Amino acid sequence: MKLIVGLGNPGTKYARNRHNIGFMAVDRIATDHGFPAWKSKHNGAVSEGRFGSDRAVLLKPETYMNKSGDSVGAAMRFYKLDPEDVIVLHDEIDLAPGKVRWKIGGGHAGHNGLRSIHAHIGPDYARVRLGVGHPGHKDAVPGFVLRDFPKADDGWLDDVLRGCSDGAPHLAQGDGPKFMNAVALRVAPPRSGTGNDSRAKSKPTQSVPEPEADNRSALQKLMDRFS
């Protein structure tokens, strides 16, 4: 079983913040895969369900971002899971908007939610890094991530959320590469053609010479046959 965690801040005023893209992703997963209604448990909102035969728990910590580890740690202990069974979806300012990356272990890079989780369960959990872009200066980061996504971002944001939902069964299996493939099919679907002229790939048609007309008489044909 996997614990799939989306990071964000509770409350409607934060709902469309860049910092809440993790919440948005697990909400989409729950809706698309028919998970039951969210229940208040483990200092967060929890929904337990299945992807086929694979059981999973979705978690949205309601402790505010900088105490996310309180909720994640409590849920992990309750379900008797190891850090390797935890997958955290979170905003990533070091990735361009619409970019998604899978990672296992490593540092928290100053992300307050990850910092808190590190303190409670260590660094050996998986992360889905959801790119939201960077404001250009580190001093502008707090205000940037706590502002709503602009309407202009709705297109790529919807693709990313749908891609995470498409790949959720692979998250439940711990298969990061297959999850990333599912996301890529939404975010950057293959083109219907290569853009090259297909005629350039085909061999040139060779002309077949027309047979010459036979103007011989019947007698000449007979003589030629026995000559």
Residue 216 lies in a domain: no
**What is the b/e burial string over 194-218, where b = at least 16 CB atoms within 10 angstroms of the residue's CB?**
eeeeeeeeeeeeeeeeeeeeeeeee
Q: Is 19 in the active site?
A: yes
Domain assignment of residue 124, yes or no: yes
Tally of domains within the chain:
1
Residue 139 lies in a domain: yes
Handedness of CA 12, 17, 21, 24 (dihedral sign): positive
Residue 200 forms part of a structural domain = no
Tell me the whole-structure pTM to 2 decimals: 0.83
Q: Cα-flanking dihedrals φ and ψ of residue 3, to 5°?
A: -105, 110
Distance CA 213, CA 197 (A): 40
Please say if the pLDDT value at position 219 is more than 80.
Answer: no
CATH number at residue 71: 3.40.50.1470
Q: What is the average pLDDT score of the chain? A: 89
The span from the CA of 140 to the CA of 137, in Å, is 6
- Residue 98, domain member (yes or no): yes
Q: Does 152 fall in a domain?
A: yes
Q: Looking at 19, 33, 42, 111, which residue is catalytic?
A: 19
pLDDT of residue 173: 96
Q: Is residue 206 part of a domain?
A: no
pLDDT of 37 strictly over 80: yes
On whether residue 75 sits in a domain, the answer given is yes
> Is-contact 95 160, C-beta < 8 A?
no
- The contacts of residue 191 (CB under 8 Å, 6+ apart) are none
Residue 125 domain boundaries = 2-187
